Chain A
């Protein structure tokens, strides 16, 4: 079943059109990779799906589980099951990670009409998940991402993904700023979350990440459109031939 349907999406930032009619369908259980050169609109797509302000959708639509995503506020989208793993997770001094995680998880549950987690249940859940991701407990006591290394910040994103159990995960340049060990840990965390009910969209500039998170479908973006789609082998072709062939297209 189609989880995410992006149809002929046109997006402007200030006066400049960034996405020129992008179409993309992601089904439940699938992992899609979106590759493309800098400036092709990859991150814009992820921001528009998550509801970041500053983007003007001039045409097209985004359906999530058949509902119009563009009509929802970012927090409503999160409660419906959309999760954006940020390329650069922000640091929030003064907000303890643990407090943030519980507030966010319970806000989502409340929005869905579910019972909020009790403190012991929540702590148990966080402990389980953080252990599996190799996240030390003292990291959870610190301010959100404050003083975290690049790898720790990405692990914190994966931790949230595991806690919130979204049905769509968008990973925006998850590999940026990570060394190979940090990348492997984060990717293992993501792979553990693959499930028949959950889809992932992995946005990356480099093929390297896709050695660790192996996609079902690869899309190439250029100049605000998907210009080619194929199986995972397409990523390897791109690695060999580069993006230049699409830039001229």
Chain B
């Protein structure tokens, strides 16, 4: 009885959320139908909780409770604050595409610098184009995950980028998500299509414009990479310490592709990055790496599902978590090898460094192998800083915190070193160093 009441209560609150937002959500009538369908899926499932296996360690009902109302479109003052944040977090030389509180900000973006090989539309304009019968497809995925469904229902904006075949981008594209609105939600969804034989670097950054309290981000990226492309995809989530960031990535990789993915989580009270990467063309190499740096009571979840759908692909995953205070890090890594995917070579290594007695790490590696001629493996470790190394450094004059910082940097270095570009790697190391300085 109580359970039913609670469910109804939650359900109706959520319905109100959609009803009040619906008028602001872009899309022709058929798009609105896709949204409603997605919302019904979400409503049926509700916020994910611990009894759903994929969300076992990240119970959003307990950790988040409710979805905040949609953020208002940013006004001039908000855009001005966002401009400062863009300046502070931009990568030198990158072409910036900026979303503020879930709305594309053309004035803050480098539109002319993109060049003719890169086509850019906003999600809003594509959805609003009644003449495009396929617009609703931008809100569809094969996933039945509740937060992806909620994203489809509520997405206000995003970018739809296509990089033409054969393009070698000379500078990274940086997709920046800036939050300026406290106590509100931003829902964004972006589509990136990388053509054949393209070389490109895509960076996603999530930050707040100064002090912004208690906002929520629900982002989805749908990434298509065509044959022979060489792509570096870097995601840096440094949202405000009391924010929530739930992000989903659905990635489809063609043949003979090199994809180097890196995620770093240094912010948000509660976060989850769930990546679903399908290797759909033969001879591709995936390097997927991640670092969670967590302190206070932060909860950071990195979940990667790598699906080897065809033969002869290689996947490597290196994940590092550094967990201080009472923080909680989750790594779930699943490698699926389909029956046809012979000669698959998939390996995953995850290590957690616990800096306090109350820090918690959950590692869940899973191998689902349906082919018989494969090489797959995983390893997981968790432990504290090595006392003998700490003493050596202290005996050489390094104070305790500095000695710890040096060892922590070395620990996460193995994952960060997978970033090939020197400038980007330095940028990432800089974020990690600022995290270390925040340790009390």
Of B87-95, B151-159, B397-405, the one contacting chain A is B397-405
CB interface residues, A 51-88, toward B, < 8 Å: 51-53, 73-75, 77-79, 84, 86
CB interface residues, B 391-422, toward A, < 8 Å: 391-400, 402-403, 406-407, 409-411, 413-414
User: B389 in the interface, Cβ–Cβ < 8 Å?
Assistant: yes
- Within the complex, which residue of B386, B397, B406, B410 is in contact with A111, where a contact is CB–CB below 8 Å? B397
User: Known interface pairs A95-B406, A95-B410. Does A90 touch B392 (Cβ–Cβ under 8 Å)?
Assistant: yes
CB interface residues, B 367-399, toward A, < 8 Å: 386-389, 391-399
User: A242 in the interface, Cβ–Cβ < 8 Å?
Assistant: no
Cβ of A75 to closest chain B Cβ, rounded Å: 5
- Chain A positions within 8 Å of B399 at CB level: 73, 75, 107, 111
Report the Cα distance A105→B393, complex, angstroms: 11
Inter-subunit contact B389/A104 (CB<8 Å) = no
CB interface residues, B 204-233, toward A, < 8 Å: none
Cβ of A142 to closest chain B Cβ, rounded Å: 13
Report the Cα distance A45→B411, complex, angstroms: 32
User: A3 in the interface, Cβ–Cβ < 8 Å?
Assistant: no
Chain A 107-143, CB-CB to B under 8 Å as 1, else 0, gives 1100100000000000000000000000000000001
User: Which chain A residue has the least Cβ–Cβ distance from B408?
Assistant: A94
Inter-subunit contact A160/B396 (CB<8 Å) = yes
Chain A 7-47, CB-CB to B under 8 Å as 1, else 0, gives 00000000000000000000000000000000000000000
The interface size bin for chain B is 20 to 34
CB interface residues, A 146-172, toward B, < 8 Å: 160, 164
- Within the complex, which residue of B387, B392, B410, B414 is in contact with A86, where a contact is CB–CB below 8 Å? B392
Cβ of B273 to closest chain A Cβ, rounded Å: 24
Inter-subunit contact A75/B394 (CB<8 Å) = yes
User: Known interface pairs A90-B388, A107-B402. Does A73 touch B394 (Cβ–Cβ under 8 Å)?
Assistant: yes
Report the Cα distance A108→B393, complex, angstroms: 12
Report the Cα distance A147→B387, complex, angstroms: 20
User: A174 in the interface, Cβ–Cβ < 8 Å?
Assistant: no
With most chain A CB atoms within 10 A of its CB, the pick from B403, B409, B410, B413 is: B410
User: Known interface pairs A53-B387, A90-B388. Does A78 touch B395 (Cβ–Cβ under 8 Å)?
Assistant: yes
Report the Cα distance A77→B395, complex, angstroms: 8
- Chain A positions within 8 Å of B396 at CB level: 75, 78, 100, 104, 107-108, 160, 164
- Within the complex, which residue of B393, B407, B413, B414 is in contact with A104, where a contact is CB–CB below 8 Å? B393
User: Which chain A residue has the least Cβ–Cβ distance from B392?
Assistant: A90
Where chain B touches its partner, the secondary structure class is helix
- Chain B positions within 8 Å of A89 at CB level: 392
Inter-subunit contact A164/B406 (CB<8 Å) = no
The interface size bin for chain A is 20 to 34
Report the Cα distance A204→B331, complex, angstroms: 48
User: A209 in the interface, Cβ–Cβ < 8 Å?
Assistant: no
User: A200 in the interface, Cβ–Cβ < 8 Å?
Assistant: no
Inter-subunit contact A74/B410 (CB<8 Å) = no
CB interface residues, A 162-221, toward B, < 8 Å: 164
User: Known interface pairs A95-B407, A100-B406, A103-B406. Does A78 touch B392 (Cβ–Cβ under 8 Å)?
Assistant: no
User: Which chain A residue has the least Cβ–Cβ distance from B386?
Assistant: A90
User: Known interface pairs A53-B387, A95-B406. Does A74 touch B414 (Cβ–Cβ under 8 Å)?
Assistant: no
Inter-subunit contact B394/A51 (CB<8 Å) = yes
- Chain B positions within 8 Å of A92 at CB level: 389, 392-393, 407, 410
Cβ of A236 to closest chain B Cβ, rounded Å: 32
Report the Cα distance A57→B414, complex, angstroms: 40
Report the Cα distance A79→B386, complex, angstroms: 23
- Chain A positions within 8 Å of B411 at CB level: 94
User: A230 in the interface, Cβ–Cβ < 8 Å?
Assistant: no
- Within the complex, which residue of A74, A86, A94, A103 is in contact with B394, where a contact is CB–CB below 8 Å? A74
Cβ of B412 to closest chain A Cβ, rounded Å: 9
Inter-subunit contact A104/B398 (CB<8 Å) = yes
- Chain A positions within 8 Å of B398 at CB level: 75, 103-104, 107
User: Which chain B residue has the least Cβ–Cβ distance from A163?
Assistant: B396
Inter-subunit contact B395/A74 (CB<8 Å) = yes
Report the Cα distance A93→B386, complex, angstroms: 12
- Chain B positions within 8 Å of A86 at CB level: 392, 395
Please name 24 pairs of A and B residues whose Cβ atoms are closer than 8 Å in the assembled complex, sorted by A. A50-B395, A73-B400, A74-B395, A75-B395, A75-B398, A75-B400, A75-B403, A77-B395, A78-B397, A84-B395, A90-B386, A90-B388, A92-B389, A92-B392, A92-B407, A99-B406, A100-B406, A103-B398, A103-B406, A104-B393, A107-B399, A107-B402, A111-B397, A111-B399
Minimum-distance CB pairs A-B, first 8: A94-B410, A108-B397, A78-B397, A74-B394, A104-B396, A94-B413, A107-B397, A95-B410
Given contacts A75-B395, A77-B395, 18 further A-B contacts (CB under 8 A): A53-B387, A74-B391, A75-B397, A78-B395, A79-B397, A90-B388, A90-B392, A92-B389, A92-B392, A92-B407, A93-B410, A94-B411, A94-B413, A100-B393, A104-B398, A107-B398, A107-B399, A160-B396
Which of A's residues lie within 8 Å of B, judged by CB?
50-53, 73-75, 77-79, 84, 86, 89-90, 92-95, 99-100, 103-105, 107-108, 111, 143, 160, 164
